[in-house]
Chain A
Amino acid sequence: EDQVTQSPEALRLQEGESSSLNCSYTVSGLRGLFWYRQDPGKGPEFLFTLYSAGEEKEKERLKATLTKKESFLHITAPKPEDSATYLCAVRNTGGFKTIFGAGTRLFVKA
């Protein structure tokens, strides 16, 4: 059964304190791994899609990496406006269903 587990559930950082969020997954055949940012009461905002192990993508203070079993979202020198829930999701090669993890709630204090 396809599964996505994110850790930690919540992360509190000081402004400028770099850290990483983890997404572990099991899937029969990976079609894509997705990272989203979600602010309270709003729809998820697309960040990255990764397709194969070894792939890396960057956007401003965020960098996503992918191995055969997990993905990391690295946050460098975070700012308070980076506070949000970060969702990881995977899609297998079999169809249209995307499996979401429970998310990591990130709090960045000034």
Chain B
Amino acid sequence: DTEVTQTPKHLVMGMTNKKSLKCEQHMGHRAMYWYKQKAKKPPELMFVYSYEKLSINESVPSRFSPECPNSSLLNLHLHALQPEDSALYLCASSPGTGEETQYFGPGTRLLVL
């Protein structure tokens, strides 16, 4: 099973709202990732967690706050977003053991009004 699940599938929020995106995998992977993807562009890396510790933060604005409660779960907390943050947010995981193929979830389509 190579499934990564993400909730919600769609999210509409105002600029003053606080919301969270959730990601879950049960493949025993120890690395998890958040990506942002705009239309007709490749995924852009935001954060990487390795063994539940944040190992990469690609200079993402503080209005995005990642959290890794355990090795199977990854959250992305959103606060005071801007309309330009509207995008497809993708979660991925990889074994974290040298075999680094990443498996992606279906994404959350976010619209900021």
Interface string of B1-38 (1 = CB under 8 A from A): 01010100000000000000000000000010100000
Cβ of A43 and Cβ of B107 under 8 Å apart? yes
- Which residue of B56, B101, B103, B107 contacts A32 across the interface (Cβ within 8 Å)? B101
User: Which residues from chain A contact B4 at a C-beta distance below 8 Å?
Assistant: 43
- Secondary structure dominating the interface of B: strand
Cβ of A98 and Cβ of B45 under 8 Å apart? yes
Give residues 2-32 of A contacting B (CB, 8 Å): 31-32
Q: Count of chain A residues with Cβ under 8 Å from any Cβ of B?
A: 21
> When A and B form their complex, what is the total count of cross-chain residue pairs whose Cβ atoms lie within 8 Å?
53
In angstroms, Cα B40 to Cα A41, docked, is: 10
Q: Count of chain B residues with Cβ under 8 Å from any Cβ of A?
A: 25
Give residues 75-98 of B contacting A (CB, 8 Å): 88, 90, 92
User: Which residues from chain B contact A31 at a C-beta distance below 8 Å?
Assistant: 100
With both chains docked as a complex, state the minimum distance between the C-beta of B24 and any C-beta of chain A, in angstroms: 14
Interface membership of A69, Cβ < 8 A: no
Residue of A nearest to B108 (CB): A43
Q: List 9 A-B contacts (CB under 8 A).
A: A41-B107, A43-B107, A46-B101, A49-B101, A87-B43, A95-B56, A100-B43, A101-B42, A102-B42
Binding site for B on A (CB under 8 A): 31-32, 34, 36, 41-46, 49, 87, 91, 95-98, 100-103
- Given contacts A43-B104, A101-B42, list 7 more A-B pairs with CB under 8 A: A34-B101, A43-B90, A43-B92, A46-B101, A46-B102, A87-B43, A96-B48
